[in-house]
Amino acid sequence: MKKLWQMLTKPSSKYSILALVLVGIGITLAGVLTVHKSFEFASTTEFCTSCHTMEQNYEEYKQSIHFKNASGVRAECVDCHQPKDLPGKLQRKLGAWKDVYNHFITKKIDTPELLEEHRLELATAVWDRMKSQNSKTCKSCHSYDAMDHSKQSAQAAFEMNKAAAEDMNCIECHKGIAHELPNMAGGFQKDFEELQATANTQGAVAETLYSLSEKSIFAVADANSTVSGNLLPASEVTVLERDGDMMKVKIDGWLEKEGRGRVLTEYMGKRVFKATIRGDVKASEQLLEEQTDATTNIVWQHVSVEGWITKDDMIDDIQPIWNYAEGMYGSTCTACHAAPAPGHFTANGWISSLNGMSAYYRLSKTEERTLLKYLQNHGSDTGGAGAH
């Protein structure tokens, strides 16, 4: 023990081990204090908004209820963007190198115009991060268990009870709570443009094609002739013949036996519309089979017709269309609330459900029909796989 004590107290003629340990402890404490104070300083709203690229975000935040409200409780930048636990803090601070790089090097959002151009990309990155953390920054202040539903509106209480039961991600329903929402159409509209560019090559060679948009059907190979029907988006056709910019195609689907029989559907008994037919195209109808829907006793006929369409906006795989429609659904129908999974409703049920949401999104008629087709083909009674 004596030798051990001598080694600890006199490792050299100049310094003892105890002295070195004490110096090490002092350095460690100074380092911890420095890191703590640095974190504290770098976590203030003043620091976060000190760059001119954050000025617009800061002004938007000042207009939100998180900045000023009846209770006087303010959520600072880090309360939403930085987790409270040490690993989460470190991960977020390390991830902020991209912000520093873009601020000083790329100048990616150096002007208000550039910020608007990249707003969707930036918002999506934050939403994805919050989803991956199950909105733990939100839940550090807002606890499902602490909510008094009697003080909420009836609709809010109904939704929050469901959210609490599923421990739902807050950001599913509360996008745009502190900053302006981006133009949600930007992403999926760009996807559509890319699909159109791809279609210019695929439509020229493949024998089985799918429509990107609504297309006129003609009885002859002349786009200036009388229109004899319409092919709806995301509908399958078989190419029989090509003539310049025109293609002769076969379209099969289901018709009600009784009635005018002009609307072809993807499935018997389900209002998943594929095409409308009339005139000479209707006259080309060939009966493939006949069945009675056991639930309604309505007789349906599986038929095929032939007609001509232009070769543009046709693609050889349905999956890219579903991917595009899925992006559209995520962008438009989850901007304000958590949208149900496509398999939540039946194919026919999705018609009224989507109509009920139409006041809250802005889609063109073609976009809306493509979205409906996606939801119906992934509905609870169509296999949920998007198969035709």
> Whole-angstrom Cα distance, residue 241 to residue 383?
32
66 is in an annotated binding site: no
337 is in an annotated binding site: yes
Question: Which string of DSSP letters, residue by residue, matches 83-113?
Answer: -SSHHHHHHHHHHTHHHHHIIIII-TT-SHH
Residues contacting residue 352 through CB under 8 Å, at least 6 positions apart: none
51 is in an annotated binding site: yes
**Strand, coil or helix: 310:** strand
149 is in an annotated binding site: no
103 is in an annotated binding site: no
Picking from 322, 296, 169, the residue whose alpha carbon sits closest to that of residue 233 is 322
Q: Checking DSSP bridges between strand 236-243 and strand 246-256, what pairing results, if any?
A: antiparallel
- Cβ(257)–Cβ(268) below 8 Å: no
77 is in an annotated binding site: yes
118 is in an annotated binding site: no
Picking from 144, 132, 121, 141, the residue whose alpha carbon sits closest to that of residue 80 is 141
Give the C-alpha distances (Å, rounded to integers) separating 383 from 321, 328, 343, 376.
Answer: 18, 21, 9, 10
- Determine the angle formed by the axes of helices 112-132 and 55-62, rounding to 10 degrees: 70
174 is in an annotated binding site: yes
142 is in an annotated binding site: yes
> Whole-angstrom Cα distance, residue 361 to residue 46?
36
For tokens 């008629």, name the residue.
Answer: 365
302 is in an annotated binding site: no
Residues contacting residue 91 through CB under 8 Å, at least 6 positions apart: 83
336 is in an annotated binding site: yes
At position 99, the amino acid (one-letter code) is D
Binding-site residue ranges for heme? 48, 51-52, 77, 80-81, 138, 141-142, 170, 173-174, 333, 336-337
Binding-site residue ranges? 48, 51-52, 77, 80-81, 138, 141-142, 170, 173-174, 333, 336-337
